[in-house]
Amino acid sequence: MAAAFFKFPEMDDEQAIRTQGQHLAVEGPGHRTIPAATETLRRACREGGNPVGVSPSVVAWYVDAPVGGYMAGREASLLQGQERTQRALRRAQERRDC
């Protein structure tokens, strides 16, 4: 996440950043890890003299984009799990009814 953050001023591609967040949802960092990582980036910019030279509002926007992507990716993952569970339940009910 930090490497992408330092490339962000040249990139300025919100969709790519959201996609990165979606990948994080698949790769497995927990729901506590993502906010902690984004807060670390915010703090580093606040206390470290803003190493990428962008305004605090841009930093906040960047940090919010991967979190939004993470949430969307996590939601999709949960939905897929629910759908698999529903299909398995239907199959079990069909077998029981036969």
Please give the Cα distance from 7 to 13 (Å, whole number).
10
Range of the domain at 68: 2-97
Number of neighbours of residue 18 by Cβ within 10 angstroms: 20
Burial 63-74 (b: 16+ CB within 10 A, else e): bebbbebbbebb
Q: Give the helix ranges, DSSP H, for the chain.
A: 2-11, 14-27, 33-47, 56-97
Residue pLDDT, tens place only, 56-88? 777 777 778 878 888 888 899 899 999 999 999
Residue pLDDT, tens place only, 26-66? 777 777 887 787 788 778 777 766 656 667 777 777 778 87
Number of domain units in the chain: 1
Please give the Cα distance from 74 to 50 (Å, whole number).
30
**pTM score of the predicted model:** 0.64
Whether the Cβ atoms of residue 77 and residue 26 lie closer than 8 Å to each other: yes
